[in-house]
Amino acid sequence: MDQAVPPRSDLGEEEASVFRIFIDELGYGDLHWWWPGVLGKVSTHAVVYTRLIIDEKYYGINGFVVQLRTLDDHSPLPGIVVGDIGMKFGNGAYNTIDNGVLQFDHVHIPRNQMLVRVSQVTREGKYVQSDVPRWLLYGTIVYVRQTIVSDASKALSRAVCIAVRYSCVCRQFGSQDGSSETQVIDYKTQQSRLFPLLASAYAFRFVGQWLKWLYNDVRRRLRANDFSTLPEAHACTAGLKSLTTSVTTSTWKIVIISKFFDCIIIWLRPEDEE
């Protein structure tokens, strides 16, 4: 079986060809797997998803079980470059996991280490696909995405809650006859910033609940070998994950600005207070 050399992957992953399985960086030194948990110090094996090419024909993304370290002294096997990525930004919880970086250099593995529920390669080097749809590969990531949408809705709700409450209790400018200053929430510019975000917070919460229902419905259907709704779930969770996280991130920036001068000084120019 020829060890085909595929073009550079647009997925940023190393390439694989078969018989035996041959995994290599193909001369692209910047191609690494980053961030997998417990890879840096603990893992002895990894499930590697990469491009499969047989006799210069591309067969899509497939999974392979690859041993990374010996079971004797835990040292990396020949051709395996693996390490811890070090300290991470954020709270301490991130640093309790040894996220790692992985690179292959002319690594060979047995053909039987290919995950074969969806497809397999025969001893003759023929690619055979089972009757299980490849859409099934989306199952786990669909769950993760719907969870991210729910998390984004909670974060957005917190941000909007802070901004709206602050705008209700804070008063600035306004009356020239000696009465109380105007509540910040009464300014049209403040309303134009916060009210659409308040509506989005409710919308994201509702859509998060709907995605949870959709995912559970997909799971029930999969048990009956019904894969008809999996593409819809994949598309909806992929798009909504991007939308909700982007809006939530930008909302926190707007919340900071919406709290007017005192908050701008605290957050954006703390040196002015020294």
pLDDT at 241: 93
Give tens-digit pLDDT for 95-140: 888 989 998 888 888 888 999 888 888 888 889 988 877 777 777 7
Q: Which residues pair with 23 in a beta bridge?
A: 16, 107
Nearest in space to 247 (alpha carbons), one of 177, 156, 121, 173:
156
Strands 119-121 and 127-129: antiparallel
Question: For the residues 228-237, what does the mean pLDDT come to?
Answer: 91
Q: Do the Cβ atoms of 25 and 103 come closer than 8 Å?
A: yes
Q: What is the pLDDT of residue 17?
A: 40
The fold of the 137-273 domain, in CATH, is Butyryl-CoA Dehydrogenase, subunit A; domain 3 (1.20.140)
Instruction: Read off the pTM.
Output: 0.62
15-132 with 137-273: one CATH topology? no
Selected residue with higher pLDDT from 56 and 25: 56
Give residue limits of the domains in the chain: 15-132, 137-273
**Mind listing the pLDDT tens digit for each residue in 200-227?**
999 999 999 999 999 999 999 988 888 8
Q: Which residues pair with 66 in a beta bridge?
A: 46
How far apart CA 42 and CA 98 sit, in angstroms, is 8
pLDDT value for 30: 54
Q: For 15-132, give the CATH class.
A: mainly beta
Is residue 16 over pLDDT 60?
A: no
| Structure token digits, residue 105 | 């250099």
Q: Per-residue confidence at 255, pLDDT binned at 50, 70, 90?
A: low
Q: Can you list the positions of beta strands (E) in 146-267?
A: 171-174, 181-183
User: What is the pLDDT, as a whole number, of residue 21?
Assistant: 57
For residues 11-24, average pLDDT: 47
**Reported confidence tier of residue 61, pLDDT bands at 50, 70, 90:** confident
Nearest of 192, 159, 187 to residue 171 by alpha carbon: 187
Q: What's the helix, strand, coil split of the chain in %, to 5?
A: 45, 20, 35
Q: What is the pLDDT of residues 19-34, one digit of tens each?
A: 455 665 544 455 677 8
The closest of 100, 141, 134 to 120, measured between CA atoms, is 134
